Structure 1
Amino acid sequence: MYSDDTMGLGHRRRNLLIAQTLAHSLVQLVTLIITGVGEAGTFVRPPGVDWLALPALRKDLDGQYDSRSLPVSLQELITLRARVIRAALEAFEPDVLIVDNEPRGAVGELDPTLAYLRTRGRTRCVLGMREVLDDPIAVHREWSQAANEDAIRKYYDRVWVYGDPAVYDPVREYHFSPDVAAKVRYTGYLDQRTRLTFIETEGSDPLAALSLPPGQLVLCCVGGGEDGDRLAEAFAAAQLPPQTNGVLLMGPFMPREVQQRLRQRAATQPRLRVLEFVREPALLLQQADRVIAMGGYNTVCEILSFEKH
């Protein structure tokens, strides 16, 4: 499995849910997840699943890429990542490669690997994507510039859409060409409640360690945290209803100075807790009475799965 993971944590969580589900199926599978999130090794993972973390990319709100950590140019970083990906898959020899969201990977970094796998002829390639990508005009512009449909024609055997065409049909809305549309299969929405099955044996309840007083729970989630500082600080400053506890998940990419301010505020409020990161936040989400979030696609899917509001 591959995900560029250049912004937020939603793509990584979706890939992990798929890997967890496959690992607990009747089929004996070994799964390698290639990810751009260095913190991936701390997430809950079942036996037979492991991570390969790439040097991290960052995507800003304008859609521009640069290096998250290494002091190198974008081209140098993409070249490095592309070589790591190809070397890993040459050694791993997968039967199936599931690529998340970007048909050619970030900045085309998958091109050499996809060409190699197609020439080798053993690996079936699947593109997995959510059904709502963006405004149709923006999708048409971005996909045309990236030659994404050409990549799907050349390299992919199937396109899995994690959604329901009765709700939103990307084939119709984005005017996929007939040959690309013929590869599309709809999986339905991924049920995030499945995570609880894996948590029971692989993880622990992060809420129990917070020593909160009795009361209702309001959970604030800001994804990876890189663009969630305003919501996080507004939540921390808000006066919650009586007998109500607040838990704020800051995200590993929130600027350190913002994290420090939030921790200082929480230290003065007995019913507020701030967490930078939890291995599996599904239990927090399940136990929350109310959820306040950035409204990213995958977060919304999780909130709906747990029937929160």
Structure 2
Amino acid sequence: MKLSPPNISHSSPAVRRRALFYVFDGGSGIGHLRRLARIAEAMRKDFSCLIVTGHDVGLQWMVPQGCEYVRLPSWDNLIAAKSAYWGRVPFLDVPLDEAVRLRSAILLGIVEGFQPDVMLVDHLPLGAHAELVAVLRTAPCRKYLITRGIQNETEDLHRLILGGAALSALGKDYHRILSAIDPKIFNLAKHYNLPPEVVSKILSTGYVAPAALAGRRASIRSSRGIDDATPWVVASVGSGQWGEPLIEACIALAGDHPDVHFDIVIGPRSRLARPEAHAAGRIRLHANCADLADLHAASDVVITAGGYNTLLEAIQGQARILCIPYRKDRRDEPFHHATLLQPYIDLRMATEIGELGMLLQAAINDCREGSVKDGRTELRTDGAVRIARMVQDDLERCLDAQFAGH
């Protein structure tokens, strides 16, 4: 397939450029979609942003207004074992390599039609099953890998990121590697044994967090019918997949605290029964929650499984954080990240759900004593804006270099 030259060759600084975002969708969560959507939100003034993903939940309310998306056939519907988890048969009953060819061909068609100036790839350099190989080799645009920095080290990192074809792609195909974490918390370049040609491309951007929500605390609480003196707990486990035991524990604990308000979000990928979203009441159960970032930022206590986005949304306000990671190995991202954040934020962690009741009671008692006092404001959370500015500046430099060469 022959691809047309990128827009950069015939653009001027006044032209709205095109950015393609490829969202990792091979795992259980939708946090990758949330993170890239926030970057797209920061870029949409200067770029036409197209998000490409296999996720089938969250697209309508996560994709920023003015951006577009293309939904790929999901790995959940292409891989037999994943389909079986949901009690389904695969969309196509084909071997994995044929499923990969299908997604790769669709991606090539999207790139040919959209002709992006930049492509931002989330998490894995080659995608979950190397479906990006052909695109990386042929798409004539600038390519950026976006990573949360800390990896799940119990996974096959050599195959997925740090070795073989994936590591080769980082060195040859990507122009920059953007680590979306505060460098005070974690240094990607120093933590993993990466070759110099890869280390030279790594930039720490700060966290990709929502726009400041702290100033809206009073209005958010008022719309929920909660005054500032009433404790409010928000519990969520991201997409909900693998988080069912924690949600069940939160529902049980809500009944033990009659003077505390609870919003409990089951998640769009949970296998628990779907509740109706209650419009009123002390305890509200949600199957999904489009304004969850607001709830996290305005609440007093956030209960989480340690997801990147939940942690960042919670520290936009005054919430004390209770973290029960579903990945219990200290080498994996939820546990590792939460541990590194503890010196800066009021974050209490346990490995067993049975400890949650004690943690919750202590956090509620502390809320009644006064507002949280920690170092959360020291963390850099403007990563989306910094990434948008960096990409724009890179393209301007490329244009200047092209014009100078003529």
Q: When the two structures are superposed, what TM-score results if normalisation uses the length of structure 2?
A: 0.63
Q: 2:23 aligns to what?
A: 3
1:304 and 2:315 correspond: yes
Whole-Å separation in 2 of the counterparts to 1:96 and 1:290: 39
Q: 1:243 aligns to what?
A: 259
**Contact persistence 1:32–1:50 (CA under 8 A):** yes
The structure number with the bigger radius of gyration is 2
**Contact persistence 1:206–1:278 (CA under 8 A):** no
**Contact persistence 2:293–2:310 (CA under 8 A):** no
| Structure 1 residue ranges, 4+ long, deviating more than 6 angstroms after superposition | 204-207, 210-214
Q: 1:127 aligns to what?
A: 145
Provide Cα deviations, 1:85-124, integer angstroms capped at 9, x if missing partner.
111111000000000111001100111111111xxx3x10
Segments of structure 2 that go 5 or more residues without pairing to the other structure are 1-20, 321-406
1:19 and 2:40 correspond: yes
**Contact persistence 2:180–2:208 (CA under 8 A):** yes
Whole-Å separation in 1 of the counterparts to 2:268 and 2:309: 17
Question: How many equivalent residue pairs?
Answer: 286
Segments of structure 1 that go 5 or more residues without pairing to the other structure are none
Q: 1:100 aligns to what?
A: 122
1:259 and 2:270 correspond: no
**Structure-to-structure mapping, 1:1-309, within 5 angstroms:** 1-6=21-26, 7-24=28-45, 28-58=46-76, 66-67=82-83, 70-73=91-94, 74-117=96-139, 121=140, 123-135=141-153, 139-140=157-158, 142-144=160-162, 147-194=165-212, 208=223, 215-238=230-253, 239-255=255-271, 258-260=272-274, 263=275, 270-309=281-320
**Secondary structure of the corresponding residue to residue 192 of structure 1:** coil
**Contact persistence 2:33–2:62 (CA under 8 A):** no
Provide Cα deviations, 1:26-79, integer angstroms capped at 9, x if missing partner.
xx21000011212243214444311111111249xxxx9745762534334322
How far is the alpha carbon of 1:271 from its aligned partner?
2.2
Change (3 A) 1:215 1:307: closer
**Contact persistence 2:148–2:179 (CA under 8 A):** yes
**Secondary structure of the corresponding residue to residue 273 of structure 2:** helix
Change (3 A) 1:167 1:270: closer
Whole-Å separation in 2 of the counterparts to 1:51 and 1:184: 27
Whole-Å separation in 2 of the counterparts to 1:168 and 1:10: 19
Whole-Å separation in 1 of the counterparts to 2:186 and 2:54: 29
**Contact persistence 2:235–2:250 (CA under 8 A):** yes
**Secondary structure of the corresponding residue to residue 108 of structure 1:** coil
Whole-Å separation in 2 of the counterparts to 1:137 and 1:9: 18
**Contact persistence 2:22–2:122 (CA under 8 A):** yes
Worse-superposed segment, 146-155 or 108-117: 146-155
